[in-house]
């Protein structure tokens, strides 16, 4: 597969839809085996390893989170949280077929609700994608929140 700009844009939209529809196992399958999900704690944070983050999870930790969200004994998810992503048109920042690197940038608004509580977040999602066995996969999803350094309630789902 040689992804086009439209393929990358479609991938970002499809990924958000899987989260919104709570299709977490399918969403998890979008990650490469070495894929990471990163939500920095500091504005313009550069170091993902030596600086605290809101989330910094590899595929194994994402699997644990998905199993918790899907579990019948997860009482903090009764009723289950719901969310909606409102994405601006993703911008394609890089298409490097020779090195297999594809990058997108997507401003978003995100709403998460459970009972009568609603959490609204805004920020930018940066996807670094690669091709594995003929399919696009997430190598890194970085989510920068506008107010990343503010105190938050628990973010239950995936922004």
Q: What is the pLDDT of residue 137?
A: 98
Check if the beta carbon of residue 67 is closer than 8 Å to that of residue 88: no
pTM for the predicted model, two decimal places: 0.93
- As given in the structure block, the two tokens for residue 47 are 């170091």
- Average pLDDT over every residue of 5-20: 98
pLDDT tens figures, 114-154 = 888 898 999 999 999 999 999 999 999 999 999 988 887 77
Angle at the Cα of 24 (from 18 to 30), degrees rounded to 5?
70
> DSSP secondary-structure letter at 77?
G
Contact status, residue 119 vs residue 112, Cβ threshold 8 Å = yes
How high is the pLDDT of residue 51? 85
Residues constituting the chain? 159
Let me know: does 155 contact 53? Beta carbons within 8 Å.
Answer: no
Query: 58-115, pLDDT tens digit by residue?
Result: 999 999 989 988 877 777 777 888 999 999 999 999 999 999 999 999 999 999 998 8
Give 81 or 27, the one with higher predicted confidence: 27
CB atoms within 10 A of CB 75: 7
- Per the model's pLDDT, the better-predicted residue between 10 and 118 turns out to be 10
CATH number of 5-145: 3.10.450.50
Measured between alpha carbons, how far is residue 137 from residues 18, 26, 29, 78 in Å?
14, 12, 8, 31
DSSP one-letter code for 60: H
Domain ranges of the chain: 5-145
């Amino acid at each position: 597969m040689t992804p086009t700009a439209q393929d990358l844009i479609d991938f970002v939209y499809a990924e958000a839809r899987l989260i919104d529809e709570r299709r977490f196992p399918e969403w998890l399958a979008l990650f490469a085996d070495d894929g990471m999900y990163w939500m920095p704690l500091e504005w313009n944070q550069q170091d993902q390893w030596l600086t605290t983050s809101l989330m910094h999870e590899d595929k194994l930790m994402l699997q644990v989170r998905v199993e918790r969200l899907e579990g019948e004994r997860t009482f903090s998810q009764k009723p289950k949280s719901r969310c909606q992503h409102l994405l601006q048109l993703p911008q394609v920042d890089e298409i490097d077929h020779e090195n297999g690197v594809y990058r997108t940038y997507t401003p978003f608004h995100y709403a998460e609700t459970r009972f009568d509580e609603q959490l609204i977040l805004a920020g930018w999602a940066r996807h670094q994608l690669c091709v594995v066995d003929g399919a696009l996969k997430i190598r890194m999803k970085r989510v920068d929140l506008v107010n990343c350094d503010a105190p938050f309630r628990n973010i239950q789902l995936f922004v």
